[in-house]
Structure 1
Amino acid sequence: MTVPPPPDGRKPGDQAPEDHNPWSPPSPGPAPAHWAPYPRAPISVPQPHNGMGIAALVLGIVGVVLGLLVILFWMSWLPALLAVIFGCVGLSQARKGLATNKAMAVAGVVLGGVGLLTAIGGAVFTVVVVKKAADKARAEVGKVKASASAADKARHLSFGESYTFEDGLKVTVAKPEPFIPDAYAHGHAKGNKAVQVTVTVVNTGTERVEVETGLPDVNDADGASAELVIDGSGRQKVITGYVLPGRRAVGKYAFSLPPDAADKVEVEFSPDAMRWKDAYWKGPTN
């Protein structure tokens, strides 16, 4: 059995000093050593991932602004769509505790949705406006074509009818009459049929008007141009010079037609070929 050491610190077997008082308290030993506190490692706190929410908010604002500018609606859909996507990602991170800006993410999703709606509205509005403009343009073109067709139709007449040009000259072409050239006629071949075309021009305006081209063109039934007949009989008269207001000028012209194409002719005439389109008179010669 092990014997515990005496309280005075003596080893077993050592002799006690003479003045030792066995009943005195033990002498105090050396002071206990003081241990330095163990250093603690710093606890790292993860940073919040707020980038998605911020990006969603910024892109949502950009999408709404571009959508409100009608001419830039086609640019608003992309930032608005990205705002919705980034906002949804930001909300997911906020639910997991990885982000602290849930409100920004929600605002980005809402603004992105508004931007998409404005982009769709701008597209619909643009389509409607363009369609109306196109319809209006087509209607105007149709009116112009109809007016041109009506004007062109009005310039095609029968013999004896009148057409008034924009300078106020009213032109009438009578039905062609047979014409017998003299022996010295030029432009008439033997066997052809010669006809005389009478053109009457009346000035219905208030100012005198000059007749720049008083010579008509005649086409036979086959569409070929007839040849002008010139002789020395003095029966032909060319309209030249000015026609005074309320006055008239009469021109008479002879043309030679092939016998097989002389049953129907067309007379083409304009008092000023540089300014006004020709009018046409058509009909049989018999």
Structure 2
Amino acid sequence: MSDRQMTSYPQQIIYQQVIKPPTNGMAVTSLVLGIVAIVTGIWIPIPILGLVMMFLAFLPAVLAVIFGHVGLRNATRLGGIGRGASLTGLILGYVTLGLSVITTFLWIVTAAAASSSGQ
């Protein structure tokens, strides 16, 4: 009998822990809320429908801005992970808020002009 046949070692099992890369949940949340805000906010300039959509778009836009700022702060801590999603959510949130403020201002100016002209 040879030495090879006599010495058989049992198989060793190697356990390796899987390490997930860090994620930036606030950035993803900001992006999703920004998309929801701009999709509903695009209807704001339409007269009757816009009034309803302004109320539906306001809360996601504000939350997108808040989560976007928090996501940017987390991105600097995580080495840039989620920076693009945070910026996109911020931009979409601010555009929606700006659209609602400008439309509200124009409606107020239009109502004041219509009431002063006597129509």
Match of 1:129 among 102, 106, 110: 110
Asked if 1:109 is matched to 2:90, the reply is yes
Q: What's the secondary structure of 2:70's corresponding residue?
A: helix
TM-score by length of 2: 0.68
Deviation digits for residues 66-123 of structure 1 (CA, Å, limit 9, x no counterpart): 4332223343322111111122233333333398433122111111111111121111
Amino acid at match of 2:110: V
Which gives a bigger RCO, structure 1 or 2 (Cα 8 Å, sep 6+)? 2
Q: What's the secondary structure of 1:49's corresponding residue?
A: coil
The separation in 2 between residues aligned to 1:37 and 1:103, in whole angstroms, is: 47
Q: Gaps (5+ residues) in structure 1? A: 1-29, 141-286
Identity %: 29
The separation in 1 between residues aligned to 2:112 and 2:106, in whole angstroms, is: 10
Amino acid at match of 1:126: W
**Aligned residue pair count:** 109
Give the Å deviation of 1:52.
2.8
Q: Which residue of structure 1 aligns with residue 65 of structure 2?
A: 84
- Could you say which structure has the larger radius of gyration? 1
Q: What's the secondary structure of 1:106's corresponding residue?
A: helix
Deviation digits for residues 190-232 of structure 1 (CA, Å, limit 9, x no counterpart): xxxxxxxxxxxxxxxxxxxxxxxxxxxxxxxxxxxxxxxxxxx
Amino acid at match of 2:57: S
Q: Which residue of structure 1 aligns with residue 19 of structure 2?
A: 45
Please, what is the CA RMSD of the aligned residues? 3.0
TM-score by length of 1: 0.32
> Counting helix residues as a fraction of each chain, which structure ranks higher?
2
Give the Å deviation of 1:33.
4.2
CA contact (8 A) 1:74 1:123 kept: no
The separation in 2 between residues aligned to 1:92 and 1:58, in whole angstroms, is: 18
**Residue 40 and residue 93 in structure 1: after superposition, are their counterparts in 2 closer, same or farther (change >3 A)?**
farther
